[in-house]
Structures are given as C-alpha cells and as structure tokens.
Structure 1
Amino acid sequence: MLHTILKFVTVLTFIFACQLDATNKEVIKFAAIDWCPQLCGQQKDQGYIIELIKKIYPASEYQLQIDFFPWSRAIKVVRNGQYHALLSPAKYEAPDLHYPINPAGNQQMCFFVLAENKWRYTGVQSLAGLSIGIAADTSIEELNQYFLENEAQFQVQPYLERYVAQNANKLLKHRVDTFIFTRNTTVLELSKLNLDDKITIAGCVNAEMVFVAFSSHPDVKREISNYIARYDAEYPSLVNSGWIQSLYDKYNISWDVSSHDK
C-alpha cells in the first residue's frame, strides 16, 4: 500500500514539475497559413519555416503556439497584436510589420496554364487581355503595380488550403486563362491532385525573400524587440554551420541561402 502511495505521489510530482516548467517558458504566438512545403498544417513534415523557428526558439526556453488561418486573417491577428509573428510574408504583403535582417526563405510567384496552352509570360505586355487568378493580399513582385492598375483582369480570392485546387479547376473549366501562385507550393499540390501533366508553368516573376514578420502593435513592443534580436543572433550561425542549407535540401528547395543580400 505504501509503495502504491509513493508511486502516486511521484507521478503527481512529475506532472506538477512539467506544468511548472511549461508556465515558466515564454509563449510566442505565430499566425500561419497552410503553405507546404514552407508551412505544413497537419502533415508529417512540418515545413521548413516551422522547423527553422523551432530551432531558433527551442522548446527548452520557449513555448511556441502556431495557429493556422486564411492568409488575410493571419495578417490581421498579427497586425492587431493578438499574435506575435506572421509566417511568412514577403515585405510587400505586410509592410507595416517589423522584419528581422535575415529571411526565412524565398518564394517565386509563377503563372500556371493548361499544358496545351502555348502562352508564356514574357513581361507586362504579355498579360494583355488575360483573365488571371490570384490570391488576396499576396505579392506578385514586379507586377504589383500592374495589378493595381488592371484589377479587372484579376479574379481575386482568399488564400485557403484549397486555393491551388480551386484555381486548377478554374483552368480546367476555362474560367481563367492562368493563375499565379508560389512555385514550390503549386507544383506540390498539382502533383497531389494528379494534375501535373495537365497544368504547367508558363513563366515566373522575380524571386523574393520571405520572413518571420513580427507585430508592430505597441502592446507587444518589448517582447517583439527581444524576439527579433534572438532571430538575428541565431540565424547566421545556422547558415555558417550548414544547418539551414541542409533544411532546404530536405524539402527540395533550390536556394543558396548564403547568397541572399542582407
């Protein structure tokens, strides 16, 4: 009987110690989108950006809360201070947030068309007369100004995990001529949908870096300053050790991290 009681007390002590340890850790709240292979919701591989932030903010010191939203909603909850950081915009997509010096990765927006379509993107002039699918609040780099001046050409919809599937369906039904989205994610999703032989890349805009972007809300100013300092202190050593390049290689991301312009 005494042995049973002691065993029970030991278990309770362990549980209490774990709870106490958890409460002592600083909680960082990240708003994210399901954007594999960068950010993968419920899949086995977390996505390279989630692996990166877990390396920079280790479980021994921090408790990371990562919640998934539609893209426009994710921007909003970080902007208003409900969440500390956004995973992971190009600067044009949320210019009012605070950015570390170092990026989290890169993205390249590409046009996708039906395989039999011979049209190719060769610059702004090649877009004349096209109906183009696009996700709300996303940056299309050098074409951002064109979008603002020619919004009638674009079919805008919220970015949800169904975005690629929905726009692929629009292509198949000839409801759009092309849609534009990030290369890595779209290629992966088209393969899952068994559409990689029916839909192809028709050209891309310039690649742009994406970041872990932090809230500029005054209520979280002190914490954000510390989180950015931590990010920029840890990132260079991960580059120099080869850890980040190995991470990109794991996810088949073809980007030489050492070449990015700080």
Structure 2
Amino acid sequence: MKNLLAISLCLAATCANADVLTIRADQYCPLNCAPGSSSPGFMIDIANEIFGKAGHKVDYKLMGWQRAIAEGKAGNIHAIVGALKDDAPDFIYPANEQGRSMQCFYTLKDHPWQFDGLASLSKITLGTINGYSYGEELDAYIKAHEKDGKVQMLVANDEPLILNIRKLQGKRVDAIVEAQPVAIYTLKQQKATDTVHEAGCEKKAQDIFIAFSPKHPKSHEYAELLSKGMQDLRSSGQLSKILARYGLKDWR
C-alpha cells in the first residue's frame, strides 16, 4: 500500500522514469521471506520503502542462490538480497549495509561439541550450503576440507537451511552454520528448538547487503539510493519499526 501511495504521489517526471527492480534470492527469513506475504522480510520491507518513495517498484521472487548470482552477473536481474561481499565480489554494494549478523553454529542438544575457533571444527562434520559465503576465514576452512569428509556442502535450493536442519536432525552432520537471526527464525518456524541449540558463534559480525548486478547500467544509482535511504530510515525511526515487526533491533 505504501508503495502504491508513493508512486501515485510522485512527480510526473519521476513516474515517467519509474523502474521495476527485480530482486532474487533463496529464502533467508527474516531477511527475505515468502514473496507476496504480509511479512516478506525486513530487507524486502526496506527495499519497498526506499525504492517506493523514489517512484520505483520492487519485483521480489525466490530463486536458488547460485542461480540468482549467475542471473545478476548476466544482467538478467537487478539485485540479490542477503549477500555478504564475498558472496559476489564483483557486484555493486551500497555504502550502508542492510543488515548485520554473526555466523553461529548449531548442534543437537545432546551433542557435546561447542565452537571454539576454527581448530574446534576438526572434531565434527559441518553442514554448509553450496555457493554461500560465511566470511573469509570460514570460507577458507570449507574449501580446504570439502573433499575430506569434514564438510558436507548442500546444493542450494529455495529453502536450503530447512534441508540442512533436517540433515542435522537426521545425524548426517554434527553441526550446521548459519547467520544468527536466520537460524533463530527458521528453527522456531520448523519447531526445532526442542532438539537443536546454538553451540557458539564467531566473534566478528558481518555486514549483509542487497547487492546490484555489475552489468546493469543503473546499479550504482540504485546502490546510492539504497545507501542514502538507509540513513533516512534510521534517522526517522522507520528502520526500528520495520525491524520490530520481525522481533529485531537496529544493529548499530
């Protein structure tokens, strides 16, 4: 409704140049959730708010993560959502992030293992998602061990974390790794909090972005608009209201 109102009130010159921004990713709730729902994810709410005020519309749909990156690289879509900079280094990133999170590790509650730095990973089989970046250090560990049985890499689909939780519950892996708010949200949705718990997190938080296609001629413009819009949402208090709908607080 807010998008439609913003578009109806925009100046004729702006409306004439209105764009439909295609944003794609696998489901990564609460960052990006079910398209068309009342709660499509706080990053989608942010995008709708900022681009809607500029007279644009957001076309958000689910797509496997690796395919979304490939489509963005080819210029077939405008942006991916929920990206670390290592996910797609050649994409265009706004100066201000749209989220921030730590990578955390999750095990069955009766499993004794706790994360205590990269060296502790040698004691377990870790479940990961193909095509995801988990940060420079953990990415290097995964690459070094993806063929020796210490890492199992799930082929990404629209809802890869749910499949990884099922692998964990089936004891096919000892632990899985995921961004903390995404894991907390999904474990609750899957009613898995009775059997799965957090077993430690990396100390350094990572910025998460809506990232724009390196092939699209307006990507720098969109990134700048999004970055400035984040400042406006934060200063007006609207960002806190958006996050509160998902049980979250501003990370800054």
TM-score normalised according to structure 2 size: 0.85
Bigger shift: residues 105-114 or 78-87: 105-114
Provide the residue aligned with 1:82 in structure 2: 76
**2:233 matches 1:235:** no
Provide the residue aligned with 1:13 in structure 2: none
Provide the residue aligned with 2:247 in structure 1: 252
Find the partner of 1:30 among 13, 19, 23.
Answer: 23
Contact 1:71 1:158 in 2 (8 A): no
Bigger shift: residues 37-46 or 119-128: 37-46
Instruction: Name the SS of the counterpart of 2:83 in structure 1.
Output: coil
Residue 105 to residue 82, structure 1, CA distance change in 2 (3 Å): same
Residue 184 to residue 112, structure 1, CA distance change in 2 (3 Å): same
Structure 1 moving runs of 4+ over 4 Å: 21-24
Q: Deviations over 1:9-54 (max 9, x none)?
A: xxxxxxxxxxxx9886322221222111110114431110001011
Provide the residue aligned with 1:11 in structure 2: none
Q: 2:87 corresponds to which letter in structure 1? A: E
Bigger shift: residues 243-252 or 115-124: 243-252
Provide the residue aligned with 2:139 in structure 1: 144
Q: Which has the larger radius of gyration?
A: 1
Contact 2:97 2:208 in 1 (8 A): yes
Question: In the TM superposition, what are the counterparts of 1:25-64 in structure 2 within 5 Å?
Answer: 25-42=18-35, 43-58=37-52, 61-64=55-58
Residue 174 to residue 234, structure 1, CA distance change in 2 (3 Å): closer
Provide the residue aligned with 2:6 in structure 1: none
Deviation at 1:235, TM superposition (A): 2.1
RMSD (Å), alpha carbons: 2.0
Contact 1:31 1:67 in 2 (8 A): yes
Query: How far apart are the structure 2 equivalents of 1:138 and 1:163?
Result: 10
Provide the residue aligned with 2:7 in structure 1: none
Q: Deviations over 1:220-244 (max 9, x none)?
A: 22x2222122222322121111211
Q: Deviations over 1:52-72 (max 9, x none)?
A: 011110167112211210111
Question: In the TM superposition, what are the counterparts of 1:71-220 in structure 2 within 5 Å?
Answer: 71-141=65-135, 142-151=137-146, 152=148, 153-205=150-202, 206-217=204-215, 220=216
Residue 23 to residue 34, structure 1, CA distance change in 2 (3 Å): farther
Would you tell me which structure has more helix in proportion to its own residues?
Answer: 1
TM-score normalised according to structure 1 size: 0.82
Residue 254 to residue 239, structure 1, CA distance change in 2 (3 Å): closer
Q: 1:118 corresponds to which letter in structure 2? A: P
Residue 184 to residue 172, structure 1, CA distance change in 2 (3 Å): same
Bigger shift: residues 79-88 or 21-30: 21-30
Unmatched 5+ residue regions in structure 1? 1-20, 258-262
Contact 2:63 2:158 in 1 (8 A): no
Contact 2:23 2:61 in 1 (8 A): yes
Q: 2:48 corresponds to which letter in structure 1? A: K
Instruction: Name the SS of the counterpart of 2:207 in structure 1.
Output: strand
Residue 68 to residue 165, structure 1, CA distance change in 2 (3 Å): closer
Contact 1:215 1:224 in 2 (8 A): yes
